[in-house]
Amino acid sequence: MSDNITVAGVSVDTRHWIGGRRVASAGTFTDHSPLDGSALGEIARGGPDEAAAAVAAAREAFPAWAATPRAERARILHAVADGVEKRIEELAIVETTDNGALLRSHRRGVMPRVAHNFRFFADWLLRLDHEDFETRGHTNHVSWDPAGPCVLITPWNAPLMLATWKVAPALAAGNTVVLKPAEWSPLTASLLADIAAEAGLPAGVLNVVQGYGSEIGDALTSHPDVRRISFTGSVPTARRIAASAAANLTPLSLELGGKSPLLVFADADLDLAVDLAVEQYDNAGQVCLAATRLLVEEPVAEEFTRRFTEKASALRQGDPRDEGTDIGPTIHPRQLDKIDGFVQRALAAGARAVIGGHRKDGQYYAPTLLTDVAQDSEIVQEEVFGPVLTLQTFAGEDEAVRLANDTRFGLAATVATGDRERAERVTARLVAGTVWVNCFFVRDLRAPFGGSRQSGVGREGGTWSFDFYCDLKNTVTAPEGWDQDHG
């Protein structure tokens, strides 16, 4: 078997990256493209041995990287960003081929954001500081000490962007990293290893291992030398990771699922509200933040539904490499089956499909809007992670807030209203890590990001990322007692 595959003209190494070199495994798994179901290649399938080797490499590299001056760490991270920018086109086409998201989005937004992740945390590192303060004449000095080897487990819906959202602050903080990408979309993580090495990142500081969670993931999350674990993905997998990490009391950062609401009040700009609702089909609905529950005030519900149906029906679904495509394929046949299972059970229970409600050729699912759904129904309560929205109506603010908060999740919420005071009242009562008012998916890395309830534990972004990836230390110094003759 060749160690390299060619994807859309780009050569990708299929082996792990451990301790600054490529490492093969005895076994492999097949990576398929959602574009047509074709096999892209055989990927090294790691297990406990590869996990142990990657953690050992990270542990060995940690002291020198932790001791590297902040300015030098920042310089190398900027060099990684430079490398990403030089290869945006390659990264974009490989990721589109591997996970099915729109090529135009990868080119114009996602891959530039990957580079920004490195630049932002490199720059934030240089300004990371806490003003000293006095306690009865004693000086308190707060510092962020690197924690050690970190295991980062990342999802398939935005593979490289979400991976670097974790990798960049972990490395900036002075930690070493073992990155395990999702087995459904592993290829750009391998390219990242090449880019980081070319940028001068020392061997062992970033390691990339591939495989299944049950085989290599458990070995990583239970390893006693791992000092931090960050995971983005599903609630069931998070529970498994938490149980695995519990024996060592390894700190966790978990960004999990969502069932976010979009609240449309009668005083909202309806055209804007419809645009926001249709935007929830982005990435074929495979977005944790997506406001999949449309809650619309009764007086405008009929008109909203008419305008939404008209706009959503005009979306073009097809090859994500085509500039005119709005919605690409579902990433994997198993995910397609899962989405359709949710929809068919909802229809059998009495829901009505205003649009969609069925599969299309290949790995495509028709953009779907379901009405006549009960609040306690599976389709309203559980994350589908596909192009499936529900629509419910409400009579006033209290009912809107009650419906919005009535799930086990709390990742995000969106509010459409023309009344500033109403916006302030409603957002104050919503249980969510992020609330957007008359907008959606405006993200700034200076802001905290994460979920409430079963949507996650902890926050990422700005200083919050460093708080997680570091051991915070407070040094208290007495004003007297120095040996004046010393030195």
Fill in the DSSP letter of residue 302.
H
Whether residue 28 lies inside any domain: the answer is: yes
Residues 6+ apart with CB under 8 A from 169: 121, 124, 460, 465, 466, 469
255 is catalytic: yes
Q: What pLDDT was estimated at residue 91?
A: 98
Whether residue 486 lies inside any domain: the answer is: no
Residue type, 310: E
Residue from 262, 148, 288, 247 nearest 205 by CA: 148
Q: Which residue out of 183, 255, 383, 460 is catalytically annotated?
A: 255
Residue type, 78: H
- Distance (Å, rounded) from C-alpha 173 to C-alpha 230? 14
> 141 and 252: one domain?
yes
> 93 and 224: one domain?
yes
What's the pTM value of the predicted model, to 2 decimals? Answer: 0.95
* CATH, residue 455: 3.40.605.10
> 242 and 327: one domain?
no
- Which residues span the domain enclosing 285? 261-437
> 126 and 139: one domain?
yes
Q: What pLDDT was estimated at residue 484?
A: 61
Residues 6+ apart with CB under 8 A from 285: 292, 339, 367, 384, 385, 386, 387, 388, 389
Q: Which residue out of 90, 150, 288, 297 is catalytically annotated?
A: 288
Whether residue 485 lies inside any domain: the answer is: no
> 381 and 365: one domain?
yes
> 227 and 350: one domain?
no
- ∠ Cα 218 256 206 (to 5°): 50
Q: What pLDDT was estimated at residue 482?
A: 72
> 244 and 276: one domain?
no
> 332 and 469: one domain?
no
Whether residue 236 lies inside any domain: the answer is: yes
Q: Does the CA dihedral 128-130-131-137 come out positive or negative?
A: negative
Whether residue 173 lies inside any domain: the answer is: yes
> 297 and 226: one domain?
no
Splitting the chain (487 residues) into consecutive groups of 10 residues, what average pLDDT does each group show? 88 97 96 96 96 98 98 98 98 97 95 97 95 94 96 96 97 98 97 98 98 93 97 94 96 95 98 97 94 98 98 96 96 96 98 97 96 97 97 97 97 97 97 96 93 94 96 93 62
* CATH, residue 374: 3.40.309.10
439 is catalytic: no
> 212 and 352: one domain?
no
Whether residue 483 lies inside any domain: the answer is: no
Q: What pLDDT was estimated at residue 61?
A: 98
How many domains are there within the chain? 2
Torsion of CA 48, 52, 55, 57, to 10 degrees: -130
> 79 and 179: one domain?
yes
What are the residue ranges of helices labelled H in 8-110?
Answer: 48-67, 70-86, 88-99, 103-105
> 272 and 135: one domain?
no
Whether residue 446 lies inside any domain: the answer is: no
